[in-house]
Structures are given as C-alpha cells and as structure tokens.
C-alpha cells in the first residue's frame, strides 16, 4: 500500500471502508498514529455520514491522560486483499486515525525526503 507525507510531516494512507451505505467502498485518508494501540478511529461526523451500526462503547485514555467513554461501530475495511471486520472508535476529532492494531505484521516506511509512505505485509521470521 502506498501513501504520502503531507506538508506538515503527517503520514497519510488511503484506506477503503465498506458499510451498508457504501457496500462497494468509500476511500478515506487516515493519519498513521503509532501512539494509538487500536485499529481505527473515525470522526463522529464521518461515522454519521457512513451510517455505521453502533456496537457499544469502550473506556479510553487520551494523550493528555484524561479518561473518556467512546462509542464503537462496526464497519469493514479492505486490507491487503481481504475484507476485514472492524470495531472502530468514534471521537469528536476531525481526522481519521489508523493505529498499531492494523500495523502489526506489517512494515511501515515513511520517507520524509520524497514524501512517500509504504506499508507492506511481511512474513514472520522463524525463530531458531
């Protein structure tokens, strides 16, 4: 998968979200957030636009240390040639965030010289 680095140095990757309203998918640009250990955070406004089905809520800790309760929703993500079911978190922010949960077993390369991002599936190394 290929993405970009924007003028502010943010690593951005286009992903395709599938939902009841958009069964063939809608492209969303997400910021890579290695401080977020979950899979995907979407702004509440985007969750409403996509008409995602609510699944519950979770307790979260924000970067400033404050604790919050966040609503969760179901969607599907086209991810490395497969459709993956996700429980996404909605927040009051403006930017979709892709977390470490979706980066596991992948190689992320951010090239700030050429403003390019690549994310590749990597085979696990065998332990001796």
Q: Which residue has the tokens 């910021």?
A: 31
Share of the chain above pLDDT 90, in %: 80
Rg (CA), the chain: 15
CB 109 within 8 A of CB 117: yes
CB 16 within 8 A of CB 27: yes
| pTM, 2 dp | 0.89
CB atoms within 10 A of CB 69: 8
Q: Is the dihedral of CA 78, 117, 35, 97 positive or negative?
A: negative
Please give the CATH number for the structural domain made up of 2-121: 2.40.70.10
pLDDT band at 122 (very low <50, low <70, confident <90, very high): confident
Residue-wise pLDDT for 34-75, tens only, equals: 999 999 999 999 999 999 999 999 988 877 888 989 999 999
């Amino acid at each position: 998968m290929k993405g970009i680095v924007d003028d502010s140095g943010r690593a951005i990757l286009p992903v395709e979200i599938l939902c009841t309203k958009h069964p063939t998918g809608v492209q969303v640009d997400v910021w890579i957030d290695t401080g977020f250990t979950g899979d995907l955070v979407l702004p509440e406004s985007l969750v409403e636009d996509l008409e995602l089905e609510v699944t519950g809520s979770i307790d979260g800790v924000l970067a400033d240390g404050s604790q919050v309760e966040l609503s969760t929703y179901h969607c599907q993500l086209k991810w490395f040639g497969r459709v993956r079911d996700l429980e996404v978190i909605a927040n009051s922010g403006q930017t979709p965030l892709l977390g470490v949960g979706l980066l596991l077993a992948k190689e992320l390369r951010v090239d700030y010289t050429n403003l390019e991002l690549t994310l590749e599936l990597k085979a696990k190394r065998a332990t001796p």
